[in-house]
Amino acid sequence: MQFRFHRRERLDLVQSWLVISAAFAIVMLGGVAGLRTDILTILITLIVAAVTVGVGFIFHELAHKWAANRFNCHAEYKSDKAMLLVAIITSLFGIVVAAPGAVHVSGHPNPRQKGMTAMAGPIANLVAAALFLVLFFTLEGFWATAAGFGAVINTWLGLFNMIPFGAFDGAKVFAWNKVTYGIIVAVAILLAFIQVPLGLF
């Protein structure tokens, strides 16, 4: 099955990316009070959020879609407008409650295919976290700080989505293969422990 996007799906992805980036930028600025700062600082913070959190979000959802397509299942991302609004509102108080949407898979995947499609998202986040960590050691100053934030947020996203119950990706992975589940969680925890002495996590 080809890796294609409907116009509505592209709009939903861009909309979710922008809103999630804005929500995390507001938190990085210190909530609603931070919006009183100068426009340049706001723009730079928004760009950092878009590259770190936003890219993590995009990689996660596209990984789900790619994996589902590999199993000849139709997969389409749909944003949740209500939850996007919740993300913005909560960010004003210094936290982000983010559930911007999800990739909806249709077809007849077996438990293995469901598990592999589910794990693709968290794995994408952990790969992104590792890449940001490399950049953290490579860059200096502001850019190193931004890369460090990217490593933290993607590690957290990968680990959070591996919660083994409910609608989380981890529930499908755990139901399919507990060893694979354990390996992914172990890698996420290892990445977190690497970041702790660096003052990131």
Residue 4 has pLDDT above 80, yes or no: no
Residue where a domain stops, chosen among 109, 124, 149: 109
Residue 200 CA to residue 191 CA, distance in Å, equals 11
Q: Are residues 46 and 144 in the same domain?
A: no
pLDDT at 201: 60
Q: What is the pLDDT of residues 126-183, one digit of tens each?
A: 999 999 999 999 999 999 999 999 999 999 999 999 999 988 999 999 999 999 999 9
Q: Are residues 102 and 125 in the same domain?
A: no
Output the CA–CA distances (angstroms, integers) from residue 2 to 42, 46, 105, 163, 169, in the order listed.
39, 33, 14, 30, 23
Average pLDDT value over all residues in the chain:
92
Residue 94 has pLDDT above 80, yes or no: yes
Q: Are residues 95 and 161 in the same domain?
A: no
Residue where a domain stops, chosen among 63, 88, 109: 109
pLDDT at 192: 94
Residue 1 has pLDDT above 60, yes or no: no
Q: Are residues 75 and 148 in the same domain?
A: no
Q: What is the pLDDT of residues 19-77, one digit of tens each?
A: 999 999 999 999 988 888 899 999 999 999 999 998 899 999 999 999 999 999 989 99
The alpha carbons of the chain give a radius of gyration, in whole angstroms, of 17
Q: Are residues 81 and 66 in the same domain?
A: yes
Tell me how crowded residue 72 is: count the other CB atoms within 10 A of its CB: 11
Q: Are residues 100 and 137 in the same domain?
A: no
Please say whether the beta carbons of 71 and 113 come within 8 A: yes
Enter the pTM of the model: 0.90
Residue 6 has pLDDT above 90, yes or no: no
Q: Are residues 176 and 94 in the same domain?
A: no
Residue 19 CA to residue 132 CA, distance in Å, equals 22
Structure tokens belonging to residue 190:
């290892």
Q: What is the mean pLDDT of residues 88-92?
A: 95
Q: Count up the domains in the chain and report the number.
A: 2
Q: Are residues 97 and 182 in the same domain?
A: no
Nearest to 56 by CA among 176, 196, 191: 191
Residue 33 CA to residue 92 CA, distance in Å, equals 8
Q: Are residues 91 and 125 in the same domain?
A: no
Q: Are residues 9 and 101 in the same domain?
A: yes
pLDDT at 156: 93
Residue 142 CA to residue 75 CA, distance in Å, equals 38
Q: Are residues 77 and 156 in the same domain?
A: no
pLDDT at 48: 94
The whole domain housing 153 covers 111-201
Residue where a domain stops, chosen among 92, 109, 126: 109
Q: Are residues 128 and 200 in the same domain?
A: yes
Which residues are paired to 77 by β-bridges?
103
